[in-house]
Amino acid sequence: MSIKEFKTTAFSDQKPGTSGLRKRVKVFQGEHYTENFVQAILDAMPNGGKGSTLVIGGDGRYWARETVQTIFKIGAAVGVKKFIVGQDSILSTPAASNIIRKYKTDGGILLTASHNPGGPNADFGIKFNTSNGGPAPESVTNKIFEITKTLKSYKMLDAGTLDITKIGSFKYGPVDVEIIDSVKDYVEIMETIFDFPLISKFVSSTPEFTILFDGLHGVTGPYGRAIFVDTLKLSEDVLQNCIPLQDFGGGHPDPNLTYAHDLVAAVEKKQIVFGAASDGDGDRNMIYGAGAFVTPSDSVAVIADWADSIPYFKKGGVHGVARSMPTSKAIDAVGKAHGWEFFEVPTGWKFFGNLMDAGRLSICGEESFGTGSDHVREKDGVWAIVAWLNILAAANQGKSKLVTIKEILLDHYKKYGRNFFSRYDYEEVSSEGANALIDNLDKLFASPNFKGSKYKASSSDASFDVSDVYNFTYTDPIDGSVSKNQGHVITFSDGSRVVFRLSGTGSHGATVRMYIEKYSKNESEYGNSAADGLKPLIEVALEITQLKKFLGRDEPTVIT
């Protein structure tokens, strides 16, 4: 067994996005493409790859198993001491974060493109997480990118192919390899966080509280089974699409009302009281019961407000709450009422990590179906789903009539007001069009007359006065690092807000996201749909930006 050096050509397009490098599988299969990126990660690791212990996991999508072998070969050549690998390459993103932390490793390589479709003709992705269990900060991802632009060669030890389907301790050349159960450690940490005896008592004594969990054929199937069937002793019927498939059954494993249509259909047809889904790699969640869809921005606010019912927070307290910038301000109000420190960070989970490590952040979320806490350093779909079960179990204690998701939401709105929120995605538009839209926003923002101008909705009398405009910049309060250009924000005098940003997770073309938020304290509006509540504001936003003209699209691809 000898280490061989391979000459390579550098690539110019291996810049990690919002959450790792995501490209078409065909691109990763190109000569040297996967190898170069893996070599760059190992070279960019804060303390170097030599002598390190690394976790390898992912959502089990197509090209993951081949990539695990590539990591073994390059890692062995670099001098990695030990790999801890999820069986058959499977570890949900939050489960991998937990393993990195629990076994005090130097980081992990996650093989996932999250909610992007998988399979030979779809997407693959590679993401590096540091020793705190969180996505690498920009200082590290920038270093990875710099290395990929100039890499001249990579080294490999060819010790053949190691079977990763069997749990146990093995050797890859001189490197220790431990193949672990993908689910066990994760269930253990969940049991330390939630009140499982309470949840169990509630679900077993309340047959009218029907449950359906949809894994969208992503990684969470086995996790859902371990929690709902093995721990809570519910019947198999509560699981749907829970066998992980390398191409997610051809679906788009994103838990929203559009892509989780199987769940939506089943919930409506059977009037399921508690429906939930998670994405390809298990970090997103959707909570959807009959007649009640929980907007992710509301979800994190409700979880924070009910934190006391969750043993982890009851014992340890809540040390700060946060949201990503485009996420609705529902959680701001909860933080204020409880006297918690509050943070607004750019889109992407990596920005929460420093705050959590400093003990200043306990609960946070993103509008993109991401919710989580400082139990790990990734958003956590199954955690959010069990958090809602815990809250519902607590809310139903001593009640003779079933308290549903809808009632919890309405109570929340009565207490705090309602932040109507929606996101319009214009996927795979031309990069020229997207850039022209942003350039035009820059021009508008710079023009002296824009602030203070008034816009009227086309379908009603509603009008909006522009009160402020800015391109969001974030300064990390812990390490002082500055992230510029994080989204164009237009605020209006009634507190409404529209945000525009370009997606950093697409695998090709550009995706423009428009986020719309309107606050209401009018109780008669609380039952309205977000679409109705936001209609006038959306009309104004489209008019101001001339979005349809720039993007050549009349309608968004997805509305969430």
Catalytic center residues: 114
Q: Which C-beta is closer to ligand VG1: that of 58 or that of 433? A: 58
CA dist 407 and 526 (Å) reads: 11
Judged by CB under 6 A, which of 11, 14, 16, 19 binds ligand VG1? 19
Torsion of CA 144, 2, 69, 16, to 10 degrees: 10
Q: Which C-beta is closer to ligand VG1: that of 19 or that of 496? A: 19
Residues linked to residue 176 through DSSP beta bridges, in sequence order: 82, 171
CB of 505 to Co ion, least distance (A): 9
DSSP track, 220-254: THHHHIIIIIIIT---GGGEES-S--TTGGGS---
Burial of 151 (0-12, 13-18, 19+ CB in 10 A): buried
Helix, coil or strand: residue 444: helix
CB of 218 to ligand VG1, least distance (A): 10
Q: Buried (b) or exposed (e) across 439-452, using 16+ Cβ within 10 A?
A: ebbeebeeeeeeee
Contacts of 469 by beta carbon, 8 Å cutoff, 6+ apart: 444, 445, 450, 451, 488, 489, 490, 491
348 binds ligand VG1 (CB under 6 A): yes
* Bridge-based pairing state of the strands 363-366 and 321-324: parallel
According to DSSP, residue 308 is labeled G
CB of 22 to ligand VG1, least distance (A): 8
Residues linked to residue 324 through DSSP beta bridges, in sequence order: 345
| Segment interacting with ligand VG1 (CB under 6 A) among 47-55, 258-266, 362-370, 491-499 | 362-370
Would you give the end-to-end CA distance of the chain in angstroms? 53
Helix, coil or strand: residue 529: coil
35 binds ligand VG1 (CB under 6 A): no
Judged by CB under 6 A, which of 14, 16, 18, 99 binds ligand VG1? 18
Q: What's the token pair of residue 342? A: 């509050």
| Segment interacting with ligand VG1 (CB under 6 A) among 159-167, 277-285, 459-467, 527-535 | 277-285
Helix, coil or strand: residue 119: coil
CA dist 165 and 155 (Å) reads: 26
Which residues in the 108-127 window bind Co ion by CB under 5 A?
A: 114
Residue 348 binding target from Co ion, ligand VG1, none, CB below 5 to 8 Å by type: ligand VG1
Cα angle vertex 21, ends 17, 24, to 5°?
A: 120
Chain position carrying tokens 């910049």: 473
Helical spans, DSSP H, in 138-257: 138-150, 184-193, 196-205, 221-224
Q: What's the token pair of residue 319? A: 């040390």
Which residues in the 68-127 window bind ligand VG1 by CB under 6 A?
A: 114-115
Q: Which C-beta is closer to ligand VG1: that of 279 or that of 517? A: 279
129 binds Co ion (CB under 5 A): no
138 binds ligand VG1 (CB under 6 A): no
CA dist 96 and 108 (Å) reads: 7
483 to 512: interface string for ligand VG1, x by CB under 6 A: --------------------xxx-------
CA dist 260 and 257 (Å) reads: 6
Judged by CB under 6 A, which of 82, 217, 375, 513 binds ligand VG1? 513
Q: Which C-beta is closer to ligand VG1: that of 18 or that of 362? A: 18
Radius of gyration of the chain (CA): 23
Residue 309 binding target from Co ion, ligand VG1, none, CB below 5 to 8 Å by type: none
| Segment interacting with Co ion (CB under 5 A) among 24-32, 281-289, 357-365, 507-515 | 281-289
284 to 323: interface string for ligand VG1, x by CB under 6 A: x---------------------------------------
| Segment interacting with ligand VG1 (CB under 6 A) among 205-213, 343-351, 462-470, 471-479 | 343-351
63 to 102: interface string for Co ion, x by CB under 5 A: ----------------------------------------
Q: What's the token pair of residue 560? A: 């969430």
Residue 141 binding target from ligand VG1, Co ion, none, CB below 5 to 8 Å by type: none
Residue facing Co ion at closest CB distance: 114
Q: How many residues bind Co ion (CB under 5 A)?
A: 5
CB of 246 to ligand VG1, least distance (A): 18
Chain position carrying tokens 């309470």: 198
Q: Which of 126, 117, 348, 121 is nearest to 254 (CA)?
A: 117
CB of 109 to ligand VG1, least distance (A): 15
Q: Which C-beta is closer to ligand VG1: that of 20 or that of 49? A: 20
Q: Which C-beta is closer to Co ion: that of 369 or that of 426? A: 369
Q: How many residues bind ligand VG1 (CB under 6 A)?
A: 18
CA dist 492 and 54 (Å) reads: 48
324 binds ligand VG1 (CB under 6 A): yes
Q: Which C-beta is closer to Co ion: that of 106 or that of 367? A: 367
Query: What count of other Cβ atoms lies within 10 Å of the Cβ of residue 30?
Result: 12
Q: What's the token pair of residue 127? A: 């993401």
Judged by CB under 6 A, which of 58, 370, 417, 487 binds ligand VG1? 370
Q: Which C-beta is closer to ligand VG1: that of 115 or that of 418? A: 115
Give the interface with ligand VG1 as residue ranges (CB under 6 A): 18-19, 114-115, 279, 283-284, 324, 347-349, 366, 368, 370, 503-505, 513
Give the interface with Co ion as residue ranges (CB under 5 A): 114, 279, 281, 283-284
